[in-house]
Structure 1
């Protein structure tokens, strides 16, 4: 331990260590095709995660704190006192319960801000049942009860929920008991079609595309019945290739996340430009929104920009769609918003894009680098989620702020949101009543 070491020998050891680290890093990014060698490389690379899992607290909690500077605000709903408007709807959102020390889902009445039901799903039941293996995520390490942030919770007709968080797609009853699950990695949006089926974004635990790294995001769209049966699955790469659009990603420099599918929006009623059963798809990392017809396998329409790294495409009426435009200035490595986010409205009649909420979004400085939601409402208003800043707001076309909800701790530390949902009081009246009247232990 105390022998003198020549400086040249120390420098040589450091240089050799760097060379070995570079070679090993290259092997992790592009593992050898021989299965035994591949498993050895990936197993060695996973050692730090195994050690972390071994020694960490099994009840670890991740409070979704807002990164960077922000204005401290109390949690809750602010309603514009200068407006007679009363919102009779509800919002469904993921929150952090300071008493339970875990994420929960809350159904909140917008007329007075009352939480009418709180869901605390049995996440460990999902973790115990899951069997998939992936270099992308380890459920037992990354998704215990305190770490599962429940992305885009979906209210079902019986008052229960469908949830996920880069995890299996799971359905829970109104009291948080697991009813069914589909194993694998589901992420971003989950939406109901006209027949009550669920369309979701799916990521294969192991990529099916050849010659890619173990962390490659091989994306697909999936249709699931209300009972948890898989009805339809299609890979994004196959959809693009079959429509002579593969060049959109194959001609770019290699990345593990070339598509970043973040919304699968089913068309509920036919119109001049689409048919019931079509899907609007948002591919963030291509800045592409497309209209896809699963019945024929054809892309009916697509457009890249002027939105940049967008999220959440929604149907406004029979000839317009809205897109939450994150409005990135640069794409890689992490991106930066060019000023503020925008809501882009594309008109199929005129092939034009407008930004009707530009003024009020500038005034509020709506600024989320990633994520973000823009939900068109029946009277022409929009519900905007500024995900990374923990703000949810209802805005009118004339720039009026109807209400504003802030996610925060009792100490006014702002918390991020996880894709909140506006719940219409008429079409969801049965589910709202069942949730409100539920008697759970």
Structure 2
């Protein structure tokens, strides 16, 4: 009997409290009355389901310019000196930021707010910053608004929308711009294979004048290959509509025994080659094929060595399905080929020898990006890596990680997709 009375009393008290809470919610929500310090906690409690639902919907609707941050992600920062990079990311669906960012302390030294006239996934990729404070940028693979130069005050100086700019853009010694380009609408290439006409995306390397934005040089990759007896290299790729996939054109900043100033090193991902090309004489100096697959980004390590970011994959995008044969139950009959991650390949232009840089540290930290990705050497022992697909930035020194982090966003649990971050120092 006593137990039943206790239960009944408890129920009555709970109902009374709920009734009181409901009355208070009504008074607060209709702005009839406030209850001092209890007002905000009560408001939070009754609005929490709506806030939670809004949060869930926000995460579901985030564009792919934001990446989920792993819950177990642990940043590393052992930088002893400032490291300035030029990064770009999405602020909102209609706004982009380009920032000069100090990785050592996460401070932003300068920010450019740029309107996005395109869709929510439009990206500003690999912008250029000049010592006079000017900025050159474009929207990746978009014909409009074109390649744009801003002066030190952020005012537009010129724009050129004759070609679509994509992937890496780099400056030469004079500040002129070498860019990967393609004509609007893509396509542009054609060959006949066994009597069948095949149309494909051709690409160009294009040089723009820094002062005026005018095109100083423009050359088709197909023309370079054909004029040097290498047109059949287009057949090496199994992607018939895009056998080339130009992703970097790196100009030489000086003349050495192995290249001349304004020679360019051209990365062609889908046929796994780097071309050493001399625009001034229309000569292909060297066709470089080595232990790299679907590479991005070519840089100079010193006067005789170039480095190549090796994606080390046959996949063209992260979600691409892998065709597999059947698995053998008898493990003794299985030959294990290895475990593969991305890495950096060096090529000595004098000795014609290849070597791997950071292969072990890439394996240990599982650094891998199916597409895009880059490296930037700070000195002979230290280099920056953008692991683009998961959005992680690394600094590696003497095969040890001294920096690992992401570009934090305003959306909890998500970080920014990086867009070919450039080391400024």
Report TM bin, short chain: 0.7 to 0.9
Q: Is the 8 A contact 2:188 2:200 kept in 1?
A: no
Tell me the residue number matched to 1:89.
83
Q: CA deviation at 1:71?
A: 4.8
Identify which of 150, 158, 169 aligns with 1:172: 150
Q: Deviations over 1:145-201 (max 9, x none)?
A: x44310001112332321121122122234544332111311001100011100000
Q: Give the whole-Å Cα distance in 2 for the aligned partners of 1:70 and 1:111.
A: 22
Cα displacement (A) at 1:362? 1.4
1:121 aligns with 2:106: no
> Given that residues 322 and 376 in structure 1 are in contact (C-alpha distance below 8 angstroms), is that contact kept between their aligned partners in structure 2?
no
Any idea what SS the aligned residue of 2:413 has? coil
The aligned runs of 1:199-278 (5 Å cut-off) are 199-206=178-185, 207-210=187-190, 216-226=200-210, 227-250=212-235, 255-278=240-263
Q: CA deviation at 1:70?
A: 4.1
Cross-structure match for 2:304: 319
Answer with 193-202 or 330-339: which moved more.
330-339
Q: Secondary structure at the match of 1:231?
A: strand
Counting only pairs closer than 5 Å after superposition, residues 22-421 of structure 1 correspond to structure 2 as 62-66=63-67, 70-71=70-71, 73=73, 78-80=76-78, 85-97=79-91, 102-124=95-117, 143-144=118-119, 146-164=120-138, 165-167=140-142, 168-174=146-152, 176-183=154-161, 184-206=163-185, 207-210=187-190, 216-226=200-210, 227-250=212-235, 255-329=240-314, 334=320, 339-396=340-397, 398-409=398-409, 410-421=411-422
Q: Give the SS at the match of 2:101.
A: strand
CA distance in 2, matches of 1:115, 1:64: 20
Matches of 2:215 and 2:98, distance apart in 1: 25
Aligned-residue Cα RMSD (Å) equals: 2.8
> Any conservation in 2 of the 1:314–1:323 contact (CA below 8 Å)?
yes
Q: Shift of the alpha carbon at 1:64? A: 1.1
Q: How many residues are aligned here?
A: 337
- CA deviations 1:373-398 (Å, max 9, x no partner) are 011123431110001111111111x2
Quick one: distance in 2 between partners of 1:301 and 1:243?
10
Say which is worse superposed, 335-344 or 265-274, in terms of deviation: 335-344
Provide the secondary structure at the position in 2 that maps to 1:389. Answer: coil
In the superposition, the TM-score normalised over structure 2's length comes to 0.72
In structure 2, the CA distance between the partners of 1:240 and 1:211, relative to structure 1 (3 Å rule), is: closer
Question: What is the rounded CA distance, in whole Å, between the counterparts of 2:304 and 2:191 in structure 1?
Answer: 41
Shift of 1:72: 5.3
Shift of 1:361: 1.2
| TM-score calculated relative to the size of structure 1 | 0.70
Alignment-derived partner of residue 437 in structure 1: none
* C-alpha distance in structure 2 between counterparts of 1:220 and 1:360, whole Å: 35
**Unaligned ranges ≥5, structure 1:** 1-59, 125-142, 425-441
Structure 1 equivalent of residue 30 of structure 2: none
CA apart distance, 1:278: 0.4
CA distance in 2: counterparts of 1:221 and 1:415, whole angstroms: 29
**Using a 3 Å threshold, how does the CA distance of structure 1 residues 324 and 357 change in structure 2: closer, same or farther?**
same
Change (3 A) 1:149 1:61: farther
2: CA distance, partners of 1:328 / 1:343: 13
Task: Mark the CA change 1:196 to 1:214 in structure 2 (over 3 Å): closer, same or farther.
Answer: farther
Q: Which residue of 1 aligns with 2:22?
A: none
**Distance in structure 1 (CA, Å) of the matches to 2:321 and 2:209:** 37
Contact kept in structure 1, 2:189 and 2:199, CA below 8 Å: no
